[in-house]
Amino acid sequence: MSGFVSFVSSGPGDPELLTVRAVKRLEAADVVLFDDLSSGPILSHARSDADLIGVGKRAGRASPKQDHVSRVLVEYAEAGMRVVRLKSGDSGMFGRLEEEITALRAAGIVFEIIPGVTSASAAAATAGIPLTRRLTARRVQFITGADVTGALPEDVNMAALADPLATTVVYMGKRTFAGLAARLIEHGLSGDTPAMLAEAVSTPAERIERYTIESLARHLETATSTTPALIFYGPLAECEG
């Protein structure tokens, strides 16, 4: 008999931001396949006899290939186990959820998706800013700053990204933001547009710094930190936290 897979969203890192359902699935799991950013205290909710398997991907580091992760997920489920696939943030937000769902469906394995707190919401809460603002930020857009090669995607809608009345949150964008900022300015967005860099969101190492898009681009051109980060820009970043 096939097992069951729970895609559990672990939130941005603080175990207190886990949902009740996420904790229940971790406590019941026979095996947990976890991302790097979902390790540490969050795994303390797993049973002592559960198999814990790291399958996370980090930029610039050797990581398991996606087809390998999907194959392992299917193999454990086909062995009749209760499997938790623990993903950082919200599993549906730039988490390669679709590839793993496709593999499970092809194998006829039943699954569920448990939503979680995405790091953008957690960072905004820590900074004391809303993601929307009446009249000046009626729209929020989440984008990735890296394509499958790690480069800035070429097919982005620059008119939308340069909209001064939108809040834009860039995931995985530290290495490519200088190039993105240049293109934003070319498309009419002011270089003085407020920006915010949020690193290690909701962890003890969390750091939030305020810039303009121009000054942030200059900072990131020489920055050496490999800490996971989000970049915010638009009218909301000027709020004082």
User: Predicted confidence band at 178 (pLDDT cuts at 50, 70, 90)?
Assistant: very high
Asked about 57 being catalytic, the answer comes back as yes
The two three-digit tokens of residue 220, written as one number: 């990131």
**Is 3.40.1010.10 the CATH classification of the domain at 4-114?**
yes
The 10s digit of each residue's pLDDT in 153-169 is 888 899 999 999 999 99
Per-residue confidence (pLDDT) for residue 241, from 0 to 100: 42
Asked about 35 being catalytic, the answer comes back as yes
The two three-digit tokens of residue 215, written as one number: 């000054």
Is the pLDDT score of 85 beyond 70? yes
The two three-digit tokens of residue 184, written as one number: 């934003």
Closest Cα partner for 166 from 196, 135, 120, 192?
135
Per-residue confidence (pLDDT) for residue 36, from 0 to 100: 84
Closest Cα partner for 85 from 75, 100, 98, 68?
100
Is the pLDDT score of 54 beyond 50? yes
Q: Is the pTM of this model over 0.85?
A: yes
Q: Rounded mean pLDDT of the chain?
A: 91
Per-residue confidence (pLDDT) for residue 61, from 0 to 100: 52
**Is 3.30.950.10 the CATH classification of the domain at 119-238?**
yes
**Catalytic residue from among 51, 57, 147, 158:** 57
**Catalytic residue from among 14, 81, 93, 172:** 172
Is the pLDDT score of 9 beyond 60? yes
CB 92 within 8 A of CB 115: yes
User: Predicted confidence band at 58 (pLDDT cuts at 50, 70, 90)?
Assistant: low
Instruction: Give mean pLDDT, residues 141-152.
Output: 90
User: Predicted confidence band at 1 (pLDDT cuts at 50, 70, 90)?
Assistant: low
The 10s digit of each residue's pLDDT in 89-128 is 999 999 889 999 999 999 999 999 999 999 999 999 999 9
Q: Distance from CA of residue 23 to its chain's centroid? A: 19
User: Predicted confidence band at 149 (pLDDT cuts at 50, 70, 90)?
Assistant: confident
**Catalytic residue from among 35, 163, 174, 196:** 35
**Spans of all domains in the chain:** 4-114, 119-238
Domains 4-114 and 119-238 share a fold: no
